[in-house]
Amino acid sequence: MLEALKQLAAPAALGEDSIDRILVFARAHLGMDLAWISRTAGHWQVVEYLDGAADRFGVVLGARLPAFPRQKGANPHEDHARRGPAYVVTPLQLPDGRLYGHIACLGERAAQIPGRRDGQFLELVAALLGPSIAALEAERDRRAGLGARVQSILDAGGPTMLFQPICALHDGRPIGYEALARFTPLDRPRTPDQWFADAAEVALGVELEVAAVRCGLAAQLLLPDHLAVSVNVSAAHLNHAAVLTALSQADPHRTIVEITEHDRIDDYAEVRCACEQLRDAGCTIAVDDAGAGYAGFAHLIELRPDIIKLDRQITHHLDTDPARAAMAAALVGFSRALDTTVLAEGVETEAELRAAADLGIHYAQGYYLGRPRPLRADTIPASTRRPRQEFASDFQSLIR
Ligand code: G
Ligand code: MN
């Protein structure tokens, strides 16, 4: 039995449900009707985990019960005792010695009156549970911290956006800007990707993406109207109502939607359908980081984007590395067959830019052409200010 308990409480089995399983085990072993773990909160005990006939005793998850007396073995629920239920309770300490709360069992029948050994058994269960509860509490605190941090960004109106020029290689002029979210590190430095992952972990992933899309697309108001704004949306959020609403509030003909992906896409049909909808509305669809991670060939074949954004892993040393050049050339061939366009990301040198142009790549982005910068009316290069009519034929023909 001890082995079984130890296994249930082992770190590998850790999780809310492993605690639930231990409660089931303890209740069954003691032949009780109800078992629960409560957290001490001032004068109250808040029921955090529960197993058994909750309704019969009026003890439900989240219920606040009067605090148990500190001394062991006492039966705090005198009224229950008078009506005859059997009751066993023991304090639950965390490994650092702090009192977390109590573990308690309640039974209705007289036959269940617990003896000293039952009390000892429950003490053993409490001792085994301590580390698991401590780890879960730490995890809850961590998530609460993440949630608060992400929420504070949302409350402040969204992340700070920087804008990096996307240039046409035939004349070197920007055709638009990619909007990139930046986060001021509050307590520890985290990359933008980590912020989005954190947000997703606390179910604020869509909210943060929508905020970034909104803040990014607001640049359309500042930029001359022949310039597009490229925003990042993860495939999983592409047909989310809030994302579509944010996109619909901008000029679709000046909107490039970059599909980013950090997880494998299971249902391409759904993503493809969302792409079609956006395309019908006038948006241009790009696949981000093509050739890296999950944005491999299946991605391109399934999504048929208007723009393939070649990951900077391929662009880096494109001028000297035949393998990278061959990979880029293969993607250019692919894009020609499908009437799409290739954009080289992460161009850092003139040689890389030339190599990209020589391979037939139409667009480029990277430190060599311009670092991500805040966008202000006075920082928009004069060379990008072109009359509107010119745009109509130029940009559209370049993109398609
Ligand atoms: O995944 P995505 O391609 O959207 O990410 C763009 C990121 O790459 C941004 O954070 C941007 O700052 C960074 N970036 C942009 N240009 C370059 C570049 O030339 N070199 C490197 N190393 N990073 C770049
Ligand atoms: Mn991108």
Give the mean pLDDT of 271-300.
88
Mean pLDDT of the chain: 85
Residue 265 has a pLDDT of 83
Q: What distance in angstroms lies between residue 283's CA and the mean position of ligand 2's atoms? A: 15
Question: Tens digit of pLDDT for each residue in 5-30?
Answer: 666 666 555 566 788 899 999 999 88
Residue 131 has pLDDT above 50, yes or no: yes
Q: Ligand 1: which atom is nearest the Cα of residue 372?
A: 12
Residue 150 has pLDDT above 90, yes or no: yes
Strand extents, DSSP E, the chain:
34-41, 44-52, 64-66, 86-93, 99-107, 160-168, 174-182, 228-234, 255-260, 284-290, 307-310, 341-344, 363-364
| Interacting residues of 350 by C-beta distance below 8 A, sequence separation 6+ | 368
Task: Give the range among 136-150, 227-241, 261-275 with minimum mean pLDDT.
Answer: 261-275
Q: Does residue 312 have its Cβ closer than 6 Å to ligand 1?
A: yes
Nearest residue by C-alpha to atom 10 in ligand 1: 180
| Interacting residues of 260 by C-beta distance below 8 A, sequence separation 6+ | 232, 233, 234, 235, 288, 289
Q: Ligand 1: which atom is nearest the Cα of residue 366?
A: 19
Angle between helices 192-201 and 205-217 (to 10 degrees): 140
Nearest residue by C-alpha to atom 18 in ligand 1: 346
Instruction: Please give the backbone phi and psi of residue 9, each rounded to the nearest 5 degrees, phi first.
Output: -95, 5
Q: How far apart are CA 350 and CA 23, in angstroms?
A: 66
For residue 393, how many other CB atoms are within 10 A of its CB? Answer: 9
Give the mean pLDDT of 115-143.
90
Residue 115 has pLDDT above 90, yes or no: no
Q: Ligand 1: which atom is nearest the Cα of residue 191?
A: 10
Contact 212, 179 (CB under 8 A): yes
Q: Ligand 1: which atom is nearest the Cα of residue 178?
A: 4
Q: Does residue 345 have its Cβ closer than 6 Å to ligand 1?
A: yes
Give the mean pLDDT of 228-256.
94
Nearest residue by C-alpha to atom 23 in ligand 1: 346
Task: Identify which has the larger pLDDT, 79 or 304.
Answer: 304
Which has the closest alpha carbon to 181: 168, 198, 201? 198
Nearest residue by C-alpha to atom 7 in ligand 1: 180
Q: Which of 312, 316, 347, 352 to mutate to test the pocket of ligand 1 (most atoms within 8 A of CB)?
A: 312
Give the mean pLDDT of 195-208.
94
Q: What distance in angstroms lies between residue 124's CA and the mean position of ligand 1's atoms? A: 54
Task: Identify which has the larger pLDDT, 4 or 174.
Answer: 174
Residue 230 has pLDDT above 90, yes or no: yes
Q: Does residue 291 have its Cβ closer than 6 Å to ligand 1?
A: no
Task: Give the range among 139-153, 176-190, 208-222 with minimum mean pLDDT.
Answer: 176-190
Q: What distance in angstroms lies between residue 257's CA and the mean position of ligand 2's atoms? A: 9
User: Is residue 387 very low, low, confident or very high in pLDDT (cuts 50, 70, 90)?
Assistant: very low
Q: Does residue 288 have its Cβ closer than 6 Å to ligand 1?
A: yes
For residue 394, how many other CB atoms are within 10 A of its CB? Answer: 16
Task: Give the range among 62-71, 236-245, 300-309, 368-377 with minimum mean pLDDT.
Answer: 62-71
What does the block give as tokens for 332?
Answer: 């250019």
DSSP letter at 67 equals P
Q: What distance in angstroms lies between residue 55's CA and the mean position of ligand 2's atoms? A: 53
Give the mean pLDDT of 341-366.
96
Task: Identify which has the larger pLDDT, 98 or 79.
Answer: 98
Residue 294 has pLDDT above 90, yes or no: no
Find the distance separating the first CA and the last CA of the chain, reported in whole Å: 69
